Amino acid sequence: APTIRRTEFMPLPWTVLRVDLHFSLHPEATVVTSRLACVRNRAVDAGALVLDGDELETLALTIDGCDPQPGTVRRSASRIELDIDGDEAELEIVTRINPRANSTLSGLYQSRGGYFTQCEAEGFRRITWFPDRPDVMARFTVTVEGERASCPVLLSNGNLVEEGELPDGRHYARWEDPFPKPCYLFALVAADLVVLERRELTASGREVLLQVWVEAGNLDRAGHAMDALVHAMRWDEETFGLELDLDRYMIVAVSDFNMGAMENKGLNIFNTKYVLAKPDTATDADYEHIESVVAHEYFHNWTGNRVTCRDWFQLTLKEGLTVFRDQQFSADMLAAAAGAEAAASARAVKRIDDVRVLRAAQFPEDAGPMAHPIRPDSYQEINNFYTATVYEKGAEVIRMLHTLLGPEGFRNGMDLYFSYHDGSAVTCDDFVEAMSEANGRDLDQFMLWYSQAGTPRVKAEGVWDGAAGSYLLTVSQYTPPTPGQAEKQALVIPLAIGLIGPDGEDRPLQLEGEAHPGGTTRVLELSSESRQWRFVGLDAEPVPSLLRGFSAPVILEVEEDDARLAFRMAHDADACNRWDAAQRYAERVLLALAAAAADGRAMAVPQGFVDAFARLLRDQRLDAAFRAQALSLPAEAYLLERMQPADPAALRAAQIHLGMTLGSMLADDLRALVEGLVEPAEYRYHPADAGRRALINLALRYLCAARDARGVALAAQRFAEAGNMTDRFGALAALVHGAVAEAEGALAAFYRRYRDDALVLDKWFALQAGMWRRDPAAPPTLARVRALLADAAFSLANPNKVYALLGSFFRANPAEFHLPDGSGYALWAEQVIALDAANPQVAARMARALENWRRFTPALQAAMRPQLERVRDAEGLSADVGEIIDKALA
Ligand code: B3K
Ligand code: ZN
Ligand nearest to the CA of 260: 1
pLDDT in tens, 31-53: 999 999 999 999 998 999 999 99
Q: Write down the pLDDT at residue 535.
A: 98
The pLDDT confidence band at residue 189, using thresholds 50, 70 and 90, is very high
Mean pLDDT score, 167-172: 98
pLDDT in tens, 579-632: 999 999 999 999 999 999 999 999 999 999 999 999 999 999 999 999 999 999
Q: Do 493 and 546 contact (CB within 8 A), yes or no?
A: no
Q: Which residue's C-alpha comes closest to atom 4 of ligand 1? A: 120
Mean pLDDT score, 65-69: 96
pLDDT tops 80 at residue 679: no
Task: Using most ligand atoms within 8 A of CB, pick from 124, 185, 262, 392 the residue to mutate for ligand 1.
Answer: 262
Helices 687-705 & 725-737 angle (0-180, nearest 10): 20
Q: What dihedral angle (degrees, nearest 10) is formed by the CA atoms of 388, 390, 394, 395?
A: -50
Q: Write down the pLDDT at residue 680.
A: 78
pLDDT in tens, 241-253: 999 999 999 999 9
Q: Do 643 and 818 contact (CB within 8 A), yes or no?
A: no
Q: Write down the pLDDT at residue 678.
A: 81
**Contact 296 CB / ligand 1 (< 6 Å):** yes
Q: Write the DSSP string, 671-688.
A: HHHHHHS---SS----HH
Task: Using most ligand atoms within 8 A of CB, pick from 125, 257, 263 the residue to mutate for ligand 1.
Answer: 263
Atom of ligand 1 nearest to the CA of 319: 10
Q: Cβ of 704: how many Cβ atoms within 10 Å? A: 27
Atom of ligand 1 nearest to the CA of 293: 11
The pLDDT confidence band at residue 677, using thresholds 50, 70 and 90, is confident
ipTM of the complex: 0.99
Q: Which residue's C-alpha comes closest to atom 2 of ligand 1? A: 262
The rounded Å distance from CA 296 to ligand 2 centre is 6
The pLDDT confidence band at residue 729, using thresholds 50, 70 and 90, is very high
Q: Which residue's C-alpha comes closest to atom 1 of ligand 1? A: 262
Ligand nearest to the CA of 263: 1
Q: Which residue's C-alpha comes closest to atom 5 of ligand 1? A: 120
Mean pLDDT score, 310-328: 99
Atom of ligand 1 nearest to the CA of 300: 11
Q: Cβ of 798: how many Cβ atoms within 10 Å? A: 20
Helix (H) or strand (E) holding 100: none
Q: Write down the pLDDT at residue 644.
A: 93
Ligand nearest to the CA of 322: 2
Ligand nearest to the CA of 317: 2
Active-site annotation, residues = 297
Q: Write down the pLDDT at residue 173.
A: 99
Q: Write down the pLDDT at residue 813.
A: 98
pLDDT tops 90 at residue 718: yes
**Contact 395 CB / ligand 1 (< 6 Å):** no
**Contact 297 CB / ligand 1 (< 6 Å):** yes
The rounded Å distance from CA 847 to ligand 2 centre is 22
Q: Coil, strand or helix: which one is 738? A: coil
**Contact 392 CB / ligand 1 (< 6 Å):** no
Task: Using most ligand atoms within 8 A of CB, pick from 302, 319, 324, 878 the residue to mutate for ligand 1.
Answer: 319
The rounded Å distance from CA 208 to ligand 2 centre is 23
Q: Which residue's C-alpha comes closest to atom 8 of ligand 1? A: 262
For the chain, which domains are there?
1-191 (2.60.40.1730), 309-451 (1.10.390.10), 457-552 (2.60.40.1840), 569-889 (1.25.50.10)
**Contact 121 CB / ligand 1 (< 6 Å):** yes
pLDDT in tens, 203-216: 999 999 999 999 99
pLDDT in tens, 253-268: 999 999 999 999 999 9
**Contact 262 CB / ligand 1 (< 6 Å):** yes
**What's the Cα-to-Cα distance from 583 to each of 355, 566, 580, 668, rounded to whole Å?**
12, 11, 5, 23
The rounded Å distance from CA 121 to ligand 2 centre is 12
**What's the Cα-to-Cα distance from 385 to each of 326, 371, 388, 452, 847, rounded to whole Å?**
20, 10, 9, 16, 14
Helix (H) or strand (E) holding 590: helix 575-599
Let me know the angle formed at the C-alpha of 56 by 51 and 60, rounded to the nearest 5 degrees.
75
**Contact 579 CB / ligand 1 (< 6 Å):** no
**Contact 383 CB / ligand 1 (< 6 Å):** yes
pLDDT tops 90 at residue 681: no
CA distance linking residue 318 with residue 428, whole number of Å: 9
Mean pLDDT of the chain: 98
Ligand nearest to the CA of 271: 1
Q: Do 633 and 655 contact (CB within 8 A), yes or no?
A: yes
Let me know the angle formed at the C-alpha of 43 by 39 and 49, rounded to the nearest 5 degrees.
40
Atom of ligand 1 nearest to the CA of 841: 7
